[in-house]
Amino acid sequence: MSPETDPLVAELAHLLSQVAGRQGAQFNATAAELGLTPAQALAMVGLEAPVTMRDLAAGLSCEPSNVTGIIDALERRGLVTRQPDPADRRVKRLVLTEEGVRRREALCSRTHTQAASLFAPLGGDRLVLRDLLRRVLLDSAS
């Protein structure tokens, strides 16, 4: 049986997609509760430390021009500031404000709680799932 017709492969792909979709929906709902769009929430997660627009864009797998509007909106809301890079004053680093840090912490805390709930039915099998997923990712990277 070829991988294209293997029903187990199809089911695994479908189940992984459903789990990712559920986690994504929970993340988006949490973002909305915190007054953020999903894109703004993803950017906030990527701002754990000061970072350039280019580095944030790379972390979000998009072009820097796509991040500009997201950051502009976060800056207008007082969640992010653009500060000169000490090593090169022509470069701006994105830095969370105090309110931005609070909002990011709330987002990450709620997201972690939701993930814990999502995987709670697995109990000790969470370690098995982790190891299997790591193996899939490692094997597909080579």
Closest CA to 100 of 72, 80, 82, 83: 80
Instruction: Find out whether 37 and 44 touch, Cβ atoms under 8 Å.
Output: no
Alpha helices in 77-124 (DSSP H): 98-119
Per-residue pLDDT of 42-74, as tens digits, reads: 999 999 999 999 999 999 999 988 999 999 999
Nearest CA to 60 out of 40, 74, 79, 77 is that of 40
C-beta neighbour count of 59 within 10 angstroms: 16
Q: pLDDT (tens digit, 9 = 90+) per residue, 21-43?
A: 999 999 999 999 999 999 999 99
Domains observed in the chain = 7-141 (1.10.10.10)
The reported pTM is 0.86
CA distance 70 to 51: 14
Q: Is the confidence at residue 1, as pLDDT, over 80?
A: no
141 close to 64: Cβ distance less than 8 angstroms: no
